[in-house]
Amino acid sequence: MDNSAFFKIGYGLYVLTAAENGKDNGCIVNTVIQATNTPNRLALAVNKQNYTCEMISHTKQFNISVLCEGTDFNMFKRFGFQSGKDTNKFEGFNDVKRSENGVYYVTKTTNAYFSGNVTNEIDMGTHLLFTADVLEAEVLSERETVTYTYYQDHIKPKPEEKKAAKGWRCKICGYVYEGEELPEDFVCPICKHPASDFERI
């Protein structure tokens, strides 16, 4: 199977936020779709290793902030390259508001947000698939939504080539695994993608 074919599917990029027991958290996701419009319902897939996933599974509430093309790499580093289990991702970050469900949404370089109430949860192995009723939705700007392709081409820094580097590089975030053989069950410690998303260097 050619796993690179999956990169041809169009994706947006979003900050998924949740709150539980006075703790706020968020992560970057790329799998959000409008499932129905009568009623308005979203479906989203979230990696089980993300603390945000655990929080949503408990509280059944979340917000989605739709990132737009003006987003810089620091947003992805803040919400995508560290764990909320041991980091306060909102520390020093003031570009947020709380919606009626009490969860933050991001106001900087976003063009819309949605508040969701989970109606169903499906175990997909590495991910949980949530379906949710939309309780709130608001347009924040008219800027274009950042796509995964735009992120790869214009936002994500290009990895520096090391002389005589040997190992495997994550095609998603650039993390380098040093070693001749990459374990089949290896998961990137940065972006949580599997071994199939690594290339030999």
What is the average per-residue pLDDT within 13-21? 97
pTM, two decimals, is 0.82
Assigned CATH for 159-201 = 2.20.28.10
Q: How confident is residue 165, by pLDDT bands cut at 50, 70 and 90?
A: low
Alpha carbons 113 and 22: distance in angstroms, whole number: 21
- pLDDT of residue 132 exceeding 90: yes
CA distance 27 to 55: 11
Task: HSE, CB side, 13 Å, CA atoms: give it for residue 139.
Answer: 5
Among 27-31, 85-89, 136-140, 197-201, whose mean pLDDT is lowest?
Answer: 197-201
State pLDDT tens for residues 85-127.
989 999 999 999 999 999 999 999 999 999 999 999 999 999 9
**Where along the chain do its domains lie?**
3-151, 159-201
Would you say residue 4 has pLDDT above 80? Answer: no
How far, in Å, are 4, 55, 70, 116 from residue 50 at the CA level? 24, 9, 25, 18
Which class for 89: exposed (0-12), middle (13-18), buried (19 or more C-beta within 10 A)?
buried
Fold of 3-151: Pnp Oxidase; Chain A (2.30.110)
